Amino acid sequence: MHYQLVVIGSGQGGAPLAGAFARAGRKVTLIERAHVGGTCINVGCTPTKTMIASARVAHLARRALTYGVRVSDVTVDLGRVVERKRIIVESFRNGSSRALERAGVEVIYGAARFVAPHKVEVTRTNGERREISAELVVIDTGSRPFVPSIAGLDGVPFLDSTSIMELSSVPEYLIVLGGGTIGLEFAQMFRRFGSRVTVVHRGAQLLPREDADIASEVAKIFALEGIAVILNAQTTRVSAQRAGGVRLDYVSSIDGTSNVASLTGSHLLVATGRVPNTQELNLPAAGGALDDRGFIKVNERLETTASGIFALGDVTGEPQFTHVSYDDFRVLRTNLLEGGHATTAGRVIPYTVYIDPQLGRIGLTERDARGAGHDILVASLPMANIARAIEVDETAGFMKAIVDAKSQRILGAAVLGAEGGELASLIQIAMLGNLPYTALRDGMFAHPTLAESMNNLFRKLQ
């Protein structure tokens, strides 16, 4: 069979692109190995944020007396939490499948590998093999949890970011290996479900992409919730215990002194990043190339080193966010369907870490702005100084903005606070409009809202 477009993988970039081509009258097939919707819908954003919402309800219920509300003992039924998550995931997945069907996309379930330029062999789930060819091929195979090389890990029933969401009961003591976004979201979630939790991180701070003051504040918030954090800790071995559970041995470095220690918990979550699903594609057969980490090499138009073959989403090595994948879709739709000249060059990528309070981020950190040689102004405002935050008793954290001293344009911001992702988006809109910081400083926002904090934040620069 010959197609005008073959899309390998149905993530939040590939599926919309297949639909757009089909609606434009092109002959399209989409090859999917497991579930339509990619990482986001099936094992990423949708299920994790659904379960985080349940954890927040449990947390608020325990704090009810703070608001003058008496609540009896709070318990978490993890089975019902997981079932709620599954219902929402299935709803989103079915919606994506119906959208492809309505658009007229042929969906083939199976694993794809290149056998020649523009020729793909598909092994269906029943073992049947089939070769198809296409004028254009787009790769959107996503990523999977990274399994580090640690002595004994292959003999321990550890959890990853997918399997932990299928537990039927709350772990007694969860050890989280990794202090990045994934590790922290699950650490706080399961602490609020009732687990004892320790985060073991090899770096000097949590959330290594953030400024040290942001990371330090996150650690303080975690400490207040009873989450232990061990930094500068290199895991040397893990082992199963006869009485059940897992032991983690590590070497920590404090002020130049090494200390050997261990932890024994009921469960181990390995949250040390994600790697691209490219190992079975046989991309060199098509003329494509991978970098030393296994990501597909693409240019700013998302073209691989093979003519007519493109890649988008997690497999390109860009930050692994759904909105990045969807923006990649817009680039390819513009160029391949509409004859445009869109690129990924210069785009500013926002993200939100869904701990509570949220951490919303846009643009440069203070560290990166100084490193790039910018003459900057830094504004900072505690959430405890914001009327709305006080009224709802959500005063943890602070917001921080980085401004170019000469142009008065906002270079970046971090909002660690209630609805931090939404507030960072507000700042992003000003950046998209190329507005000076004074537009937010002097703007009129409804009272009492979190948005009016922009007045006081940027007034710090006067």
Paired strand residues for 244: none
Determine contact, residues 372/364, Cβ cutoff 8 Å: yes
Determine contact, residues 343/358, Cβ cutoff 8 Å: no
- Identity at 1, one-letter amino acid code: M
d(CA 245, CA 363): 42
447 carries an active-site annotation: yes
b/e burial code for range 188-220 (CB count within 10 A of at least 16 → b): bbbbbbbbbbbbbbbeebbbeebbebbbebbbe
Structure tokens at 75: 């318990």
d(CA 453, CA 422): 13
Residue 116's CB is within 10 A of a number of other CB atoms, namely: 13
- Identity at 429, one-letter amino acid code: I
Paired strand residues for 356: none
d(CA 326, CA 16): 8
Determine contact, residues 293/280, Cβ cutoff 8 Å: no
Active-site choice (2, 201, 341, 447): 447
Phi, psi of 104 (to 5 degrees): 90, 25
Structure tokens at 382: 């505690």
Q: Which residues are catalytic?
A: 447
